Amino acid sequence: MGGLGLFPAARLTLPARRVLAFLALHPTSVSRAIAAGRLWPDQEETLSRANLRRSLWQSPPGWVVTDGDDLRLDASVDLALARSVAAWALDGGELKLSEIALLSEDLLPGWHEEWVLGAQDAFRLLRVQALEAACRTMATRGHHALATQAGTAALAAEPLRESAAAALVRAYLLEGNRYAAARCFHDLAQSLHAELGVAPSPALCAALDGVDLEPERDRGPGPGRKSDRHPS
């Protein structure tokens, strides 16, 4: 989460890093043929398998366990913990601040290879859904500080996710923080207008009925508004 790190620390070649990262995404064993084919898809099988053998030789001793033609990473991976925390939140559980921080990280950011992209997209959706669910759960139970932290993290990951904004707005309102609720709504409205040319849903607007959506210190040029400043 947030990048590939090893504990205890060890220096790795790039091929060895790729192999360990690939195995870390798979909780069960992976055959050598699949690993070689996914990691070196543009090379012939004999060459990709040779690259895999070389990469395994360059990996720290004991980290990769071989069982016949299968490979398995013999190490704990924070992705497993993050998935467990997300499942807990989706099931109505509350999150600690450290767990919110864990779910605020993307999976292997900066990695753009084909074998990692699907896992990145799937985990981003999972973590945003979990953070949003935790925001709603904790706001309902009166734990407003943690609820707003979870909601803010969800919206930071997906700024156009209206359901996350709605959860955060509700948490702010239950906290009694009308300005923050209005600011969240205003930022979402600007983003939706700029990116999609649409306005927030009527349901979200109704949730803020009676709340000043343009606090005095925040007013300025924006969608449908003119500035009161004029050149002289």
Per-residue pLDDT of 168-206, as tens digits, reads 999 999 999 988 998 999 898 899 888 888 888 888 787
Per-residue pLDDT of 139-157, as tens digits, reads 999 999 999 999 999 999 9
Q: CA-to-CA distance for 83 and 102, rounded, in angstroms?
A: 10
Q: Which two tokens stand for residue 182?
A: 């209005």
Nearest 5°: the CA angle 128, 176, 169 is 30
What is the residue whose two structure tokens read 């012939």?
44
Given a contact cutoff of 8 angstroms between Cβ atoms, the answer to whether 101 and 144 are in contact is no
pLDDT of residue 216: 45
Q: Which amino acid is at 144?
A: H
Given a contact cutoff of 8 angstroms between Cβ atoms, the answer to whether 79 and 4 are in contact is no
pLDDT of residue 230: 41
- Band (pLDDT 50/70/90 cuts) for residue 11 is confident
- pTM for the complete prediction? 0.83
Put the strands of the sheet holding 64-67 in their side by side order: 30-31, 70-73, 64-67
